[in-house]
Amino acid sequence: MKKTHLVRKASEKKVERKTSRLPGFYRLSVEQRLAFLARTFHFTNEQIAQLRDGSALRVEHAVNMVENTIGVFGLPLGIGLNFIVDEREHLVPMAIEEASIIAAASKGALIIRNGGGFTTSVDEPIMIGQVQVLDLPDIDKASECVRARKNEILDRVNEADPRMSLRGGGAFDIETRLVEGGSGVGRMLVVHILVNVCEAMGANAINSVCESAGPIIESITGGRVNLRILSNLADRRISRSEFALPIDLLGDNGISGEIVASRMVEASRLAENDPYRATTHNKGIFNGICAAAIAFGQDWRAIEAGGHAYAARDGQYRALAKYSIEGSTLVGRIELPMQVGWIGGAVDTHPAVKTLRVISGVQNSRELAGLLASVGLAQNFAACLALCTEGIQKGHMALHARSVAVSAGVSVEDVESVASEMIRRGEVKVSVAEDILRGMRLRHIPARTDRELPVESFAHGKVILFGEHSTVYNHPGIISTIDLGLTVKIKPDSDGPRFLNPHFKQAFPIPDTDDDVRLFSRAADTALEMYGLQKAPIAIAVESNLVPGMGLGSSAAFSVALCSALRQFSGAPSNGQWDAELFSEAQKLEAVFHGNPSGMDAATVLSGGVIWFRKGPPREILPIRMPFPMSGLVCIVEPGARTIELVERVRDFRRRDRETVDAIFTEIANVVVDAGIALGTGDEKAAGRLMVKNHELLAGLGVSTPALDDAVNTLLDHGALGAKLTGAGGGGAVVALVEAERQQEIFRELVDQFALLFPFRLGANR
């Protein structure tokens, strides 16, 4: 059957996805990389969590995939970059435990894309099934009979699986081979049944075909059928990939392109003719192919077995990838069997495979076969190029140095600097890493040496004193800024624009706030687009002593501070105070976090002090003037739920029982009115009592938790005037009003009883 070429004519091009060229991707944190995927491919939080945690395949899936299941074993999952295959951009998911494989494939693809990328051709998906026939009195006659009755056999096996025929596939030809069995077995007839398996890898389909063919072949030959199974030497299903790279692009480190190309050809000739070198040469190819095949849910063992057998098809094991100089270009070529599937097996069973397919941009089994061949060629090209120039170890050194630094106990922030210093010294050892770290500490020299930032903007955090949830339904609320806050810094970055890993105050293990980090990255992208800075060479850094996801206004502070900073960067100074346009811009960022924000948080952060807020229309933002400063405590109690989730929970409750919920909202609104009067007249005790009442009403809405209730009671037992949950609830934080002269005393008594405890002054910034 004819080969199918995948290169598209210009008139046939589809709309392409974003480029696979992502400079500086390796410098991003894991959360920033995941944020990029979430933005680019519109993944849900659940999909991103599954990628991050390896939780897509759970034991309840695994128990239906293998016998004697006891759990799930994970592999590091990364993305191969820079691939252009048949004029299409591809990101390549790769699962592998060996360092530098993904980096090498990406580097090889980066160099090759300068010559236009890879061109592939892929055979029709033809697989071979084998039926072994023995005890034949006349083996030659039996072979002739099988061939003569080929159509009868094909009709029989296709009747057994009519669905494949309906899809345009099925068994279509038969061949026979005579094989010597040696002593005790003798000559045997092997019947090959050729099957077009369409979009499947085909193992199960082929085995079914062979088993269906067994009885009729026994009847025709008079022999005894033994094995009936597919062959993994899929030499009718070959994938080919090649590239042509101008030789002058190969020059590096003082070595001319001509010399590099000549060395590449010399290395290729050794692999083509020496099985010892060919084994290592091909192993590198399968480093890339198998890593990608695993991520795509393919039978990587079948691919590798078929590839090795194909490498030895003429009786000597040889290289699968070859290089030659043709005119002024270095041409690389690879061909090997590629038995892959787009349906069936782990492709349908493993939940993560569908997500990774979306990332890749691959649409069918033939595109996948061409991509995998290209990955193998890129991997081999990068390895051979390193061997012919700088040596293979230099490419491994950076990752090895980072690993050694981590083993020596170096902090995440200092790993890069310690690793770089070890490489500079030429000694990558744990003892050397420890010595470097000691020296840094003694000299008080930080590992990170960012230049002074040209733009900086600070915004306060906030607490809701009264009125959570009811404000969504146009009831009033009272909010106060607090002393804690967040700073956004903007600096030049040639790989920008980039959102650097934000530094937040942490109360709980990182996984509990990963979603917040990703949302901040998404909001930063929204801001860059809003101000027309999508290509600005800048980096955005965040330093915060606010704990995200705790109702402390970290998203509003970030939105206001970032908008203010980007305004300054764009030449439109902003002092971060109330400005209708700045408020509108901050609200667009807040929408990333909360869907449909009331505006209360952003208005508070911009206005400062203690404010009365109603979203309107018309919107009410009124300062509450207190006769003297009041003091409070913020207690971080437990990981919080998403604001958007809690708002939806209350909305569902209201749909089920509107009368009850609206009555609670009315009572909360009355509390807010009374609280405004108490704060305005300086009646701390009345304000405290109203906070407790507000908490009880919020508990009636179902947004409190036992831990929050216990925290409120603990604060009251230690002398707080009042306490309540603050923010959306479902966990998170409690805010308390305390007498100023007792603030530090209560703080000292309770500081060890909460994950974090902050004293604050109501109306900070005023």
Confidence of residue 151 (pLDDT cuts 50, 70, 90): very high
Q: Are 389 and 253 in contact (CB under 8 A)?
A: yes
Higher pLDDT, 197 or 519: 197
Q: What's the pTM value of the predicted model, to 2 decimals?
A: 0.62
How many residues in the chain?
A: 766
Structure tokens at 83: 């691939």
Question: CB neighbours of 359 closer than 8 A, spacing ≥ 6?
Answer: 37, 41, 79, 91, 93
Residue 46 per-residue DSSP state: H
Residue 439 has pLDDT above 50, yes or no: yes
User: What pairing do the DSSP bridges indicate for beta strands 477-492 and 455-466?
Assistant: antiparallel
Residue 541 is inside which H or E element, if any?
strand 538-544
* 100 pLDDT tier (thresholds 50, 70, 90): confident
Residue 516 clears pLDDT 70, i.e. is over it: no
Q: Cβ distance 74 to 54 under 8 Å?
A: yes
- Mark whether 175 is an active-site residue: no
Which stretch, 159-163, 175-179, 527-531, has highest mean pLDDT?
Answer: 175-179
- What is the C-alpha separation between 227 and 463, in angstroms, rounded? 74
CB under 8 A, 24+ apart: contacts of 58-64: 61/349, 61/350, 61/351, 64/349
Written as one string, the DSSP assignment of 79-97 is EEEEEEETTEEEEEEEE-S
Q: Which of 5, 61, 192, 283 is catalytic?
A: 283
Query: Residue 68: which region, alpha, beta or left (left: phi > 0; alpha: psi -120 to 50)?
Result: left
How much is the average pLDDT of 456-484? Answer: 90
pLDDT at residue 12, as a whole number: 34
Rounded CA separation 336/249 (Å):
27
- Say how many Å lie between the first and final Cα of the chain, rounded: 80
pLDDT of residue 348: 67
Share of the chain above pLDDT 70, in %: 88
Q: Which of 16, 53, 98, 645 is catalytic?
A: 98
**Residue tagged active-site, from 61, 192, 396, 503:** 396
* CA–centroid distance for 231 within its chain: 36
Q: Are 420 and 447 in contact (CB under 8 A)?
A: no
Known catalytic residue at 396: yes
Average pLDDT value over all residues in the chain: 84
Question: What's the pLDDT tens digit per position in 659-669?
Answer: 999 999 999 99
pLDDT (average), residues 660-679? 93
Say what the pLDDT of residue 442 is. 52
- The CB-side HSE value for 152 (13 A sphere, CA atoms) comes to 11
Contact criterion met (CB below 8 Å) for 160 and 209 = yes
| Lowest mean pLDDT, pick from 41-50, 235-244, 658-667 | 41-50
In eight-state DSSP terms, residue 452 is P
pLDDT tens-digit series, residues 184-235: 888 999 999 999 988 888 888 899 999 999 999 999 999 999 999 999 999 9
pLDDT of res. 338: 95
What's residue 454's pLDDT?
75
pLDDT in tens, 378-418: 999 999 998 888 654 555 566 567 666 766 666 656 777 78
Per-residue pLDDT averaged across 464-489, rounded?
Answer: 90
Q: In the numeric block, which tokens belong to residue 242? A: 């090649």
Residue 617: asked if its preceding bond is cis (omega within 30°), the reply is yes
* Confidence band of 685 (pLDDT split at 50, 70, 90): very high
- What torsion do the CA atoms of 721, 726, 731, 737 make, to the nearest 10 degrees? -20
pLDDT at residue 108 greater than cutoff 60:
yes
pLDDT of 601-639, one tens digit each? 888 888 888 989 888 777 788 888 888 889 999 999 988
Strands (DSSP E) contained in 205-328 are: 224-231, 238-246, 321-326
What pLDDT digit, counting tens, does each position of 315-366 carry? 999 999 999 999 999 999 999 999 998 887 666 677 788 888 888 999 999 9
- Active-site residue identified among 86, 89, 299, 468: 299
Is residue 400 part of the annotated active site? The answer reads no
Distances (CA, A) of 76 to 53, 93, 192, 286, 410: 10, 11, 40, 17, 21
Report the C-alpha gap between 703 and 649 in whole angstroms. 8
Which run of H or of E encompasses 647? helix 643-656
d(CA 418, CA 426): 12
Q: What is the pLDDT of residue 386?
A: 86
248 noted as active-site residue: no
Q: Higher-confidence residue: 44 or 742?
A: 742
pLDDT over 90 at 25, yes or no: no
**pLDDT given for residue 760 in this prediction:** 87
- Which domains can be identified in the chain, with CATH numbers? 4-9+20-31+75-122+253-390 (3.90.770.10), 126-231 (3.30.70.420), 401-442 (no CATH), 455-610 (3.30.230.10), 631-761 (3.30.70.890)
Contact 430, 408 (CB under 8 A): yes
Q: How would you write 160-204 as a 3-class SS string?
A: HCHHHHHCCCEEEEEEEEEEECCCCCCEEEEEEEEEECCCECCHH
